[in-house]
Amino acid sequence: MQEISFISRYMGVFREFSRTFENVCMLLPSLMIVAAVGTWFEIRIAVYGIAAAVISAIFVALTYFVARAFEGHTKRTRFAPLQQLAEALLSTSEDTLVLLDLDGRLIMESAVSNGLIRQREFTSQSSGSDWLEVWTGDDAIASRNAFGGALAGRQMCFAGYRPSAAGIPKWWASAFYPLRDKDNKVKAVFCRSRDVTNKTLALRQADEAATLLSDIDIYMPLVFWSTSTDFSKIFHVSSGFERMWQIPVATLYSNVTVWQSRVSSEGLNELKCAMRKMARDNIPTETEFPLLLDGGVVRWVRVNSSPVGMPGSSKRVISVCADITEERARMAELHRLANVDVLTGMSNRHTLTEYLASRCEETLPFSLLVADVDRFKVLNDTAGTVLADRLLRGIAAAMADVLWPGTFMARQGGDEFAIVIPGDHSQIDCAEIFEKLRGSVAHSQLLGDAPMEITLSAGIARFPEHGRTPEALMSSADIAMYAAKKSGRDTFRLFGINESALLTGFEMERDLRHAMTRGEFELYYQPLFRTATEEMVSVEALIRWNRPGRAMVPPSIFIPMLEDTGLIREVGQWVFDKGVSQIEKWRESCGRLVPISVNVSAKQLHDPTLPARFAEVAALYGVLSSEITLEITESVLVEPADSCRAVLDELKRLGFRIALDDFGTGFSSLSCLTNLQPDTLKLDKSLVDRIDENASAKTLVVGVIALARALHMAVVAEGVERRTQLAVLAAAGCEVVQGYLLGRPEKASDFFRNFLLAPPFPFPEIDTIVSLNFQETNAVDVRISPVVNLRSGTALKIADRDADMNLEILKQAVLDSRDGITISDNSNADQPLIFVNPAFERLTGYTSEEIINRNCRFLQNGDRDQTELQSVQQAIRDGEYCLATLRNYRKDGSMFWNELSISPIYDIAGSVTHFIGIQKDVTARVLIQQQLRDKNQSLEEMRSHLERLSVTDSLTGIYNRRFFDSQLDVQSRISRRNGQALTLMMVDVDHFKLFNDIYGHPAGDVALQRIATSLDQSFLRASDFIARYGGEEFVLLSTGMTHEQATYWAGMLCERVESLQIPHAASSSGYLTISIGFAVQVIAADEDAGALVSAADQALYTAKQNGRNRSCSFVT
């Protein structure tokens, strides 16, 4: 009872006075002093934290002292103001104050302001509850230990975590103070708890940031600098400087220019120029320079520097240095691998092309010599790949030894070399150069133990006379070399008039090979008319070649090329497909079907699958075969009769109509009418030209028409251009005419508009011919704050206590902020800005009067196509936080990057009333990031390109020999480890040297590309791959294949290449073929992988000896 009486008396201290008013008055100055001291400690708590305990101790001591002073004077009304002062001091405290009994149970609590926390976490406990139970885990132990210390008479402190009632994380700093009775016994414990969440989080973030910076400084191989804009002062440099520069950091601080002593003079000049440019233009820069360290060690450094601040007001520069020595070494190695021939060690074809391009840009005269080893293919087939490679290395070395300084030599591929010789050279000069090269290799080579006499054929082209581009020069030199081989080999030719004409043909043939894939062919359509009524009865489709950069090529020129190269089959099929599909489109558009015919080359009639393919296309588009006429020329008579006649008979059986085109030219004879038995006879323009002027011509045509009618053949007259011609033909009984008189050839769209949209015309059910004739001519970083109109001084309620002071502090902080702060009104549909601070005005160039009551979207200046704008708009609709970086525009039109972070402000009902934020110009950061991304992307693309070049054959696009050698080594180790068999196939193009001699090197390159693509597409497993071994040789490597599977695949590859139908006059089949030698072996532990190559090479030799166009396996 005595303790309860004491506690009750103590807690009523503010209603009783035990001392005289004079004593209290004497204490008031001390009270003010203590309050001031407390305020000082409150300020320092943000840094030292523990001072909170001291403040509370003083406060408790003061409270107790005042209570003692007031005790015994409760009845003196003249002390009422002092009582109110004491109550006010306690009730307005920011802290949660509670009184606990000796068991830790709650006796009483103070009134707590709601300005810092919405829920009264600690004051929600009922009287008598165990206050210590609100803590959990280690915090519970700490609280009870601190409470025990207070019971022992000591002032104790502890810090703990307890979330708010709403689940918001909260950290608290608490202090216990023992309260004693007059006998100095502890009768109760006073506790003060303060919300230190913000301070705790700030300290944690600071610690994390400091740890991160420390880790970066220690573990990242970078050097971070912070200097003045004129680089005269160093504010900070990381410890990486000492490792990179090998100079103590302390030395740098004492002598700010000492770092320059390690930089080469050339690198220092370049670096200083970059520094001056950055300081002048206020833009980030990047520079690379070498560091010259002790012992002759050279390290390369890349430095990225960026000014910090607005243009014109930058105060410092941030720089990052990175050691790129290994990176440059890797890039140099990749560059070497991509530009050096693996066999000879000299430059490769890719390097040659780049070198020629640079020389052409210089516009100084030079000559390009292309040399080819005569009959090297025979040597390769006879001696094998290993010895042939040794021979090529010897030839390359011999030629390189006699070249004078300034010349450039490269191996183009196979047995072909190219030499670039500076200067203007005459025919005599070229002869001397060639004789020097010829002599170097003539008698000095050995193939095994046998001496070999090696000869060269060469072609020479001069810049700019024979070409102004690398491609033109290489083509000219190649044609000249081809002419040298044609003249008997072991000589040279300088590109001239004869070679120029040959080059034109080669260039056209080269372009023709790509015309189909490039979409350069086009069909024109010319109508045919009934002679008597001049009504359109059918259409003829005419092929045209729109050669880029040239005039349209006449069919009379490119059709023979198509036939010579074998491309006529592919193009002919395209014409058939295109023509049939077009008449179907017209039928869908106007409801009328126009019959059509397709010109079929004699070369196509050798293909027994042609009738089936034509019938399939006709069925696909719903066109009857009887509505399609196939035109053939009399050249069919000189083709092998049996095969062509069989195909023609099958086409007739399927219902296609046959027309004999250009009758009256070529091999015209009456016998062809009985042999071919066509359905229609087309009179050539040469027969029709003079029928209205020459009686003999008229008699001849009238006789032919009468003969055709007697044989039940329809007749079409081509080339009708005059009315008088039309009258003669009508009188002679010619039913259908064609020519410029009634209709010219037109594109499909024009033909449809001019003829098919005209009034309907009758279509005859028989004898209708439609022919296709080939031989016609800003950042906003927003953080939540209470909504305050700082300009007017009015505000929403922040806190009852010290509102004026808090508002003034907040106002000053916002107005002085270096970041732009804005507040928008969410209750208005347009969400206008109701406040902006001066920093925002400086940032945008607008005044507050120009901004207030406007939506901030005007800062985008119409630039609304920004992905992150959608995130901002969605966040505003959802009333949520959002962070985005946007392009904004100042009043003067200049763009800057804004990092926008918006946060909502809620009212008591939980509705979003405003959005508030802080805005910051991060243009410099974004530009640096963009530059770094672009630089990294550029470096990655360059690295990827060089890596690709280092393992890829520049001509065919498949892997090169270097990659094959490395993969063979890898696969061999795997084979030894798991006992799995390796299959290696050596592939050689048959008679390829003759092919180059006949068709030229450009055609040879195209052939190799097609063969490589075909071989590459034959294998589907990721572990299988193909490489170009050199020249016209390829190699294929596979794992886990049995001998039977390898035999099947080798045979299939031979058939696949032959089916490409690449014409070759020197081949028994008429097409390019390949020979394959293969070996299937498990690599033994003591066996070298080269044995597998030798085995396959030996099998290849056997295949060629047995007749070529076949495969052969290695037999032990």
Which residues are designated catalytic? 1032
Q: What are the residues whose beta carbons fall under 8 Å from the beta carbon of 844, sequence distance 6 or more?
A: 820, 851, 859, 888, 890, 891
Spatial distance between the Cα atoms of 290 and 267, rounded to a whole number of angstroms: 6
Judged by DSSP in three states, 35 sits in: helix
DSSP helix/strand/coil, 916: strand
C-alpha 194/C-alpha 175 separation (Å) is: 9
Query: How long, in residues, is the chain?
Result: 1116
The b/e string for 410-436 (b: 16+ C-beta within 10 A; e otherwise) is bbbbbbbbbbbbbeebeeeebeebbee
d(CA 924, CA 338): 37
Q: Assess contact for 1029 and 1035: CB atoms under 8 A.
A: yes
Contact 603, 546 (CB under 8 A): no
3-state helix, strand, coil in the chain (%, to 5): 45, 20, 30
Residue 980 exposure: Cα atoms within 13 Å on the Cβ side: 13
> Is the link from the previous residue into 464 a cis peptide, with omega within 30 of 0?
yes
DSSP conformation class of 541: E
Q: Is the dihedral of CA 381, 387, 391, 393 positive or negative?
A: positive
Q: Which two tokens stand for residue 499?
A: 């070679």
CA distances from 858 to 321, 832, 861, 913, 986 (A): 40, 11, 5, 21, 70
**Residue 219: CB partners within 8 Å, gap ≥ 6?**
none
E-assigned strands of 644-745?
A: 657-663, 680-683, 714-717, 736-737
Separation CA 58–CA 804 (nearest Å): 26
SS3 926: helix
From CA 212, how far away is CA 205, in angstroms rounded? 10
Rounded to whole angstroms, the Cα distance separating 1052 from 1050 reads 5
DSSP calls for 411-465? EEETTEEEEEEES---HHHHHHHHHHHHHHHHS-EEETTEEE---EEEEEEEETT
Q: Which residues contact 820 (CB under 8 A, 6 or more apart)?
A: 780, 836, 837, 839, 840, 841, 842, 843, 844, 918, 919, 920
- Report d(CA 154, CA 213) in Å as an integer: 41
Gap between the Cα atoms of 733 and 745, Å rounded: 25
Residue type, 44: R
CA–CA separation, 536 and 528 (whole Å): 6
Neighbours of 75 (CB within 10 A): 8
Q: Which residues pair with 518 in a beta bridge?
A: none
* CA angle 1081–1082–1088, rounded 5-degree value: 90
DSSP codes of every residue in 361-414:
HHT--EEEEEEEETTHHHHHHHH-HHHHHHHHHHHHHHHHHHPPTT-EEEEEET
Query: Using alpha carbons only, how large is the chain's radius of gyration in Å?
Result: 48
Which one-letter amino acid corresponds to residue 186? V
Torsion of CA 697, 699, 700, 702, to 10 degrees: 120
3-state secondary structure 212-246: HHHHHHHHCCEEEEEEECCCCCEEEECCHHHHHHC
